[in-house]
Amino acid sequence: MNALKLTKCPDEAPGRIIGVPHRPVGVSAPDRGVGTLRVLVVDGRPKARLQWEGLLERCVSPAGVVAGEAADAVHAMELVQRQRFDLALVHVSLPGVDGFVLARALNERAQPPAVVLVSEHPQHAAQAFDADATDFLTRPVRPERLQQALRKAQRVVARPVQASDVDMLLIPQRDQVLQVPVHEVVYFKAETKYITVRTARETHLMAGSLAALQARHGSRFLRVHRNALVALRCLRALERVPAGCAREDRWQLRLEEVDEVIPVSRRHLAAVRAVFRARA
C-alpha cells in the first residue's frame, strides 16, 4: 500500500479538493498527427487549465493535445488509471496533495507519463527535480520553452515498457490519500454511508457505490449480496446455515485470507453456485 501525503506548498491557497474536468472524462481529444502527445493538465484554476490548450496548439514537433484535465491530485490519479497519457503538466500548488507529491506518485506507476511541473516561482525547480520531474516550467510559459519540454517528454514515453500497471484504489483520508492495490482487496461491503474495503491485513472506509466498483472491477469480483462484492480468488466454501427460528435456511461464504463470513442472498445464490461448479 502506498500513500500520497497531504502536504502544502508555501503558496498553496486554501480550498476543498474537487475535480473540474474541462473535457468530459472518456471523450478523447482529436489527434493532430503521428507522434502527438496526449497531455493531462492538472491545475486547480479553470482559467489556467484553459490556457494550456492555446499553448499546445502552437507546438508542432512533437505536437501535444489536452486529453484530460483535473483540478487536484486525487482526480488526476483517477484519470491516469482510466486513460493513457504521455505527459502530465502539473502545477506545484494544488488543493490538498501538492504537485511534488503527485509527481512522485505518478512516477511510481509501471507505465508513468512524463511529468512536467509548473510554478510561478523559479525556486521550486530544485524540489521539482527532486520529485523526478522530466522538466520544470515557470509561468508565464513561452511556447518555445513548452516545445522543448514536449521533446523531453517524447523521449521519456518512447522508452520500452517493462511491466503492466497495478490498478489502485484511491482512498482520501484526513492527512493522506491511500493507494490500495485492487488485487489485495478481499471484499467490498456497503455500510450506511461508506464502503468497507477489506484486505488481508487492513480495513479502510471509502466513499462510492458498489455498482460503480462492480462496473469497473467486475472481472475480479462477484456480487454475492446487495451490499457485498467478494474477490473471486478468495472464495473458499459455500455453506448452508440451518434455518433455526427463521423460515428458511441461509447461505454464507467462507473466504481465503480473512477469518470472516459473508452472507449470500438468495438472489445471488445461483451465480455463486455456478462459480463453485466451474471450479470443481
Residue 24 clears pLDDT 70, i.e. is over it: no
114-119 and 87-91 beta bridge pairing: parallel
Residue 14 clears pLDDT 60, i.e. is over it: no
- The more confident residue out of 168 and 68 is 68
Residue 165 clears pLDDT 70, i.e. is over it: no
Tell me what pLDDT residue 244 has. Answer: 67
Task: Share the mean pLDDT of the chain.
Answer: 83
In a domain, 168, yes or no: no
How does DSSP classify residue 161? P
Pair (92, 206) in one structural domain: no
- The more confident residue out of 215 and 239 is 239
Q: Which of 157, 184, 214 is the last residue of a domain?
A: 157
Neighbours of 255 (CB within 10 A): 21
Q: How far is CA 189 from the centre of its chain?
A: 20
Residue 43 clears pLDDT 50, i.e. is over it: yes
Q: How far is CA 219 from the centre of its chain?
A: 18
Boundaries of domain holding 205: 174-279
pLDDT one-digit tens code per residue, 251-264: 999 999 999 999 99
Pair (106, 8) in one structural domain: yes
Minimum mean pLDDT range among 32-41, 135-144, 150-159, 212-221? 32-41
Q: How far is CA 109 from the centre of its chain?
A: 11
Of all residues in the chain, the percent with pLDDT exceeding 90 is 55
Q: Which of 126, 157, 188 is the last residue of a domain?
A: 157
